[in-house]
Every structure is written in C-alpha cells, then in structure tokens.
Amino acid sequence: MLRFIARRLVGMALVLFAVSLIVFVVFNVIPNSPPAQRLAGKNATPVLVKSIEEEWGFDESLPQQYLTMMKKVFTNELISYAPRISVEDQIVERIPATLSLSIGAGIIWLFFGLVLGYFSALRAGGWLDRLLTGVSIAGISIPVFLIAPVLIYFLTYKVEIFPNAGYVALTEDPWEWLTHLILPWFTLAILSIGFYSRVLRSNMLDVMNEDYVRTARAKGLSERKVMTRHVLRNSLIPIITLFGLDFGATIAGTAIITETIFSYEGVGQYAALAVANTELPPIMGVTLYGAFFVVFINALVDIAYAYLDPRVRLGSTAS
Amino acid sequence: MSPSPLLSVTDLRVGFATEGGLVQAVDGVSFDLRQGEVLAIVGESGSGKSVTAQTIMGLTRSNNSRIEGSVKLAGEELTDADDAILRNIRGERVAMIFQDPMTSFNPVYRLGRQIAEAIRAHRGDVGDDEARDRAIELFEAVGIPDAERRVDSYPHEFSGGMRQRAMIAMALALEPEVLIADEPTTALDVTIQAQILRLIEDLNRERGLATILITHDLGVVADTADRVLVMYAGKVVEQGTLDEIFYDPQHPYTWGLMGSLTRLDRPRPKRLPQISGSPPSLLDLPEGCSFRPRCPHEFAKCPEVPALESRLSEAPGHCDRCWLSPEQKREKRQVAGQIGLEAPA
C-alpha cells in the first residue's frame, strides 16, 4: 500500500510538470506576438513592456525561459502588472472562500446524491424511484446561470431569508459564513445531486445481480446488511472516481459562474475578472492552481480507490 | 434408511412472470432427502434444477415469482415462512455452494472476513477473533494449505479450485444439515473437479450432511450420488437410485444424456453423439410430454402427459415419465451395443 502511494505521488509530480510545460508553451511560446506585450496587459507603457521582457528573459533560450517562469511561480514573483499585485497572494487570499464553497457543495451533493440514489435503487420501479428520477433529471437539466438568479430573486429579494451575495470568513462570523454559503452551495450541488443519484442507482441495480450478492443472502444476512455491506459498498467504487474528477474540477474552476453570480470573492471570480481585463499573469496562476487541485484530488482518490478495491493494489493496473 | 426425510419437497412449482407470460421454471417437483445422502439433480441448462435448489432457501422469492407446493425442513414448512425465519435457516441449517467461485465472493473483502460475516449473522455473540479462528479451522478442514495466512487473502489472490474450497468452508461454517451444491465443479479444471467432488463426498459422510448436488455432468453424478433426479423443462422425468438410473434408465431423455457421455473405455465414435434439437421454450411447451419434439420414439400416446410413476414391479422407487412399456424401453435404448438415443430418421 505504501509503495502504491509513493508511486502515485511520483505520478502526480510528473503530471504537474507536464501541465506547467503546457502552460508555458500556450502562454509564452505559441502566440505570435511579443509575450511581454501581452503579459503587460492593456494600455501598458513601452517602459513596462521593456522591463517585463528583461525580467522574464524573453531573449534567452526556451528552456531558460521556462525555468525563469517556474522560478517566479515558486518564489511568489508572478505578479499582475496592471495593478502591481502578487498573483499568488491574490489566489491564496481567495482559496478559503473557494474551498468553503467547493467542499460544502461537494459534501451536499455527495450526501444527497447517495441518499437519493440508494433509495431509488431499493425501490426501483416504484413511485419513489420515478419521482426521484424526475427530480434528478430536472436537477441535471437546469443550468447554473438560471437556477442561481432564480434562487437569489426569490430567497434573497422576495423573501429575505438569505443575505445578498459576498463571502464572510468562517473565522470572522461562522453564522454569516453559513448563511452566505447556503445558496451558492445548493446552486453548485444541484446538478451533481441528480447526476450522482442516477449513477449510484444504476450501479446498485447492476451489483444486485452479482453472484456475491446472492451468496450474501444465502449466508443468511439481513436484507439491510446485504444492501449496505455488499451492494452499496461495491457500488461506491465508481462513484469515488467520479467524485474525484468532479470535485477537483469544481475547485479548479467550475465554480466560476456560481462565484460570479453571487459576487463571491473566490478564485473563480478572480479568474473571471482577469479574463475580462486580459491580464495574463493571473490566468496563468489560476491555471496552475487549478491543475494542482485536479491532480492532487485525483491522487487522493486513487489512494482511496486502492483502499476500497484491493484488486487495484496489485500494481499492474495502477498508473 | 432413517425413517423420516430431513428435507421433503412436494409438488413444488415455481413460475416467473415475464413480459412474454408466466414461465413455469419448476413444474411439480417432489423428492425427499435423508441425512447422509447425496441426491443429484441432473438436467440441461434451463431444466429448472437451479431454480428448484434456490427455492428451497427462498432465494427465488420476488415480486414476479409464483411459488406453490411445499418445502419442509425437518417438518417445518419453508415456502410460506417469514423472511426472518428463512434468514435463520440460510447458512445455519441449509447452506449453498455456487457454480462460479470467481464471482461468488465479494471481491473487496478478505475471505476470512466473509466467512466471519456468515458466522456472525447467526451467532451475534461470536467475537472477531473467535470468528477468525473458526475460519482458519474451516480452511484447514477443506484442505487449504497455510490457512493461518490465507484467511487474510482477498478472493482474487486464490486460484479457482482454492476459491471453491473456501466457498465450501464458508458453507460449512455453521454446520448446516443440508448442503446444496449448485454445479460446484462446472467452472473448474477437470483435475480440480475430482478433488472438489471427493471433498464434498467426504464432508457429507464425515459430518452427516444431506447433500443436493446439481449438475449437468453425468460423470459427476456417477462419482458422487446415491440417488438421481433427472429434470427436463421444469419436470422430473426420471428418478431412482444411482444404479437404477445408470444400468436401467427408463426415459429416452436419460438415454440421450448417457449416450452423449464419451467414454475412454469404448471405441471413439466418428462424431460425438448428441440429443438433436434443443430444449423447448418454457413459454411455449409442447402438449403432452415435453421431450416429444426431440424424441425419436414418439407414438400415439405422447400428446398426453405421462405421470411420474414406477412401471417396474421390481423397483417401485424407480419412476419415470414415459408411455413406453419397460420391454419396449429396454429394446429401444440399445444403440450400437450401448445405451443411447438413436438419431431421428
């Protein structure tokens, strides 16, 4: 198991290296115009462009340029030039907000997705199952940019249940933190609740036909134990993979729309603003940050996977 | 023979509602099973032998199944018993070994734990360590070497034969009275098959079990069984002791099964003999004898269902469903000097 984890972490480092190379190529090599001009942003003075060119060493060889870029990333010298602020500081400052949003939403969608999926599967074909199917499909079909304004309109303006927009730090006021987050959480989670309950339901219906479930019944286990220890447990394995991908992607940027609509000061909103102002360094920074979380969460998931399914630990199947 | 049977199945009928109509998978099966006995149920795929066995444990209960008739375990009726009562019987008094040891264990749990789970389901007071010790004992009893270490293995770390041994160990965990082995050797190599059969036979004798052995392999039957039930399209077409079935088979279907055995001690036939045609759809059974469309000896009486009864005065326990007289049968079953079913004209 330890060897598996070590191997997985090495793999993670390699993937991150590849991502940083791609970022470098996409931002600094491919575009057919002086990179310093683009990094400087709109309305940059020739003096600024000149200094960026020297700072980033754009007259040197490409490997040297890559090293310079990575050095900046790791030493907190990646800065945006319109207002001269450190990109890293900006991201780090906003990470608590984005993590509050994504982790909370992740817990909500996993919990409701699993509960709804489990009961759908137990009552497959019954009225509860059909109702949940309808609700799930509605949840999957409603886009975030529709549901978020509708929720804000009815629950913040019409009936003033939830406060309007923004993020309050947990350390500042836990109650405000919570009330500010409930709407964004559900906005973000609702699609996945529907999707996860569908996936779990169909996994469980497949697993119910497995021979080992019949074996479990033949041993005299109670129906509840058969369902939880054998059917649910084995149906969760693919769900974990899915969750790793989705959760990583949520932290990395799926939350952009939600954060923007709720004027929520997270990393997603920072990225959206940077795009709007054509500021390259923040986009670069957010891309690397996003890649890190996707890869990191997936490494965690693979490790969890190896724990859940002993066959994965064999080695040959591990990547 | 002991006076009263341990397990008594009477006129068992199991049907499944499907989109095409009611499929009568088991149609009036009766048999008795006594302690120490091995009863073989033989038939092709779809003949209803597995459904019969699973119904004994209530494993075929569902919204779309119809179960009629009676299954009595030591006098206690099981077909209409509560789920809770059935659950107490499963594993504890009637245990089952399944066909495919590859898929019959949950791949994510250690084998010892799966055995412990069976024990703990019935003996709540047994602790983890005690259950594990019991699993080790059982592994030793079924001939798994290095049991102490191997109980902590996962199913994928075992070979097919070892897994089937582990399956048998799990079935024996609570010292059941009845063991149902549903094609226990079908998924195994021929060399391993013999070992597993010997193991089942030994355990049956040593532990005073009563075993139902379900198979489509007459070779397996000849090795192990005391009595034989031949099923075709949900009905028993012939039943008797091992010797009666092998030396004096009465039903043309049984002849066909015997004729399709290849034997090393006989000259090799040009073509492997087979029963022509295929089993009828249970949704569209022929009128009368179900075997009629495949039977070369069909005659005027066959459109009427023959009763399962003994037509031999010297063997009242040897029953069959065929209208031919015993003399006709003894003559017609001789094909090229041995028992078989002649090819249709």
The whole-angstrom separation of Cα A8 and Cα A303 is 8
The whole-angstrom separation of Cα A296 and Cα A81 is 30
Q: Is the pLDDT of residue A82 over 80?
A: no
Tokens 């031919």 label which residue?
Answer: B324
- C-alpha torsion angle, residues A11, A13, A15, A17 (rounded to 10): -150
| CB distance B97 to B182 below 8 Å | yes
Contact B106 A216 (CB under 8 A): yes
| CB distance B218 to B189 below 8 Å | no
The pairing of beta strand B235-241 with beta strand B309-310: unpaired
The whole-angstrom separation of Cα A165 and Cα B336 is 92
Please spell the DSSP secondary structure of B282-303, one letter per residue. Answer: TTSPPSS-TTGGG-TT--TTTT
C-alpha B264: how far from its chain's center? 26
With a CB cutoff of 8 Å and minimum separation 6, the contacts of A269 are A94, A256, A259, A260, A263
pLDDT of residue A199: 93
> Which residue(s) pair with B66 in the sheet?
B15
Among B144, B150, B117, B52, residue whose Cα is nearest residue A215? B117
- Paired tokens of B252: 């043309």
- C-alpha torsion angle, residues B150, B156, B162, B168 (rounded to 10): 90
Q: Is the pLDDT of residue A317 over 60?
A: no
The whole-angstrom separation of Cα B268 and Cα A191 is 67
**Residue B40: which H helix or E strand, with range?**
strand B38-42
Q: Is the pLDDT of residue A315 over 60?
A: no
The pLDDT of A269-293, averaged and rounded, is 86
The whole-angstrom separation of Cα B194 and Cα B200 is 10
The whole-angstrom separation of Cα A129 and Cα A117 is 9
Q: The sheet that has B7-18: what strands, in order across it?
A: B21-33, B7-18, B65-73, B76-77
Q: Is the pLDDT of residue A276 over 90?
A: no
With a CB cutoff of 8 Å and minimum separation 6, the contacts of B262 are B268, B269, B272
Work out the pLDDT band at A147, boundaries 50, 70, 90. confident
pLDDT tens profile A187-209: 888 888 888 999 999 999 999 99
| CB distance B78 to B84 below 8 Å | no
Among A233, A244, A260, A263, residue whose Cα is nearest residue A301? A244
Contact B108 A310 (CB under 8 A): yes
The whole-angstrom separation of Cα B121 and Cα B328 is 55
pLDDT of residue A314: 58
Measured between beta carbons, which residues in chain B are less than 8 angstroms from residue A223? Answer: 83
Residue A50 touches chain B, beta carbons under 8 Å: no
Measured between beta carbons, which residues in chain B are less than 8 angstroms from residue A237? Answer: 108
Contact B118 A219 (CB under 8 A): yes
Report the complex ipTM: 0.85
Interface contacts A/B by beta carbons within 8 Å: 70
| CB distance B142 to B184 below 8 Å | no
- Paired tokens of A66: 């890559």
Measured between beta carbons, which residues in chain A are less than 8 angstroms from residue B98? Answer: 211, 214-215, 218
Disruptive mutation site among A206, A215, A221 for chain B (greatest number of B CBs within 10 Å): A215
B1 DSSP 8-state letter:
-
Q: Which domains are seen in chain B, by residue range?
A: 7-230 (3.40.50.300), 246-339 (no CATH)
Contact A215 B154 (CB under 8 A): no
- Paired tokens of B60: 């075929």
The whole-angstrom separation of Cα A4 and Cα B123 is 37
| CB distance A197 to A174 below 8 Å | no
Domain boundaries, chain A: 88-281
Q: Is the pLDDT of residue A319 over 50?
A: no
The whole-angstrom separation of Cα B251 and Cα B292 is 11
Residue B90: closest C-alpha in chain A: A220
> If DSSP states are collapsed to H, E and C, what string results for chain A?
CHHHHHHHHHHHHHHHHHHHHHHHHHHHHCCCCCHHHHHHCCCCCHHHHHHHHHHHCCCCCHHHHHHHHHHHHHCCCCEECCCCEEHHHHHHHHHHHHHHHHHHHHHHHHHHHHHHHHHHHHCCCCHHHHHHHHHHHHHHHCCHHHHHHHHHHHHHHHCCCCCCCCCCCCCCCHHHHHHHHHHHHHHHHHHHHHHHHHHHHHHHHHHHCCHHHHHHHHCCCCHHHHHHHHHHHHHHHHHHHHHHHHHHHHHHHHHHHHHHHCCCCCHHHHHHHHHHCCCHHHHHHHHHHHHHHHHHHHHHHHHHHHHHCHHHHHCCCCC
The whole-angstrom separation of Cα B69 and Cα A297 is 57
The whole-angstrom separation of Cα A132 and Cα A150 is 22
The pairing of beta strand B76-77 with beta strand B94-97: unpaired
The whole-angstrom separation of Cα A111 and Cα A104 is 11
Q: Is the pLDDT of residue A318 over 70?
A: no
Highest mean predicted confidence (pLDDT) among A77-81, A268-272, B165-169, B186-190:
B165-169
pLDDT of residue B3: 59
Helices A144-152 and A174-208: crossing angle in degrees, nearest 10, is: 140
With a CB cutoff of 8 Å and minimum separation 6, the contacts of A304 are A240, A244
Max Cα-Cα span within chain A = 81
> Which residue(s) pair with B227 in the sheet?
B39, B241
* Share of residues in chain A with pLDDT > 70 (%): 97
Residue B154 touches chain A, beta carbons under 8 Å: yes
| CB distance B253 to B278 below 8 Å | no
Q: What is the CATH number of domain A88-281?
A: 1.10.3720.10
Among B200, B250, B242, residue whose Cα is nearest residue B225? B242
Nearest to B108 among A216, A223, A234 (CB): A234
pLDDT tens profile A204-256: 999 999 999 999 999 999 999 999 999 999 999 889 888 988 888 888 777 78
Residue B81 touches chain A, beta carbons under 8 Å: no
pLDDT of residue B344: 67
- Kindly report the backbone phi and psi dihedral angles of residue B225, in degrees, each rounded to the nearest multiple of 5, phi listed first: -80, 155
Disruptive mutation site among B106, B114, B123 for chain A (greatest number of A CBs within 10 Å): B106
Tokens 């009562």 label which residue?
Answer: B85
User: Is B149 or A144 the better-scoring residue by pLDDT?
Assistant: B149
* Share of residues in chain A with pLDDT > 90 (%): 21
Contact A219 B57 (CB under 8 A): no
User: Is B153 or A151 the better-scoring residue by pLDDT?
Assistant: B153
**Residue B223: which H helix or E strand, with range?**
helix B218-224
Q: Which residues of chain B have pLDDT under 70?
A: 1-3, 344-345
Residue B153 touches chain A, beta carbons under 8 Å: no
**Is residue B174 classed as helix, strand or coil in its secondary structure?**
coil
- Neighbour tally for A164: CB within 10 Å: 12
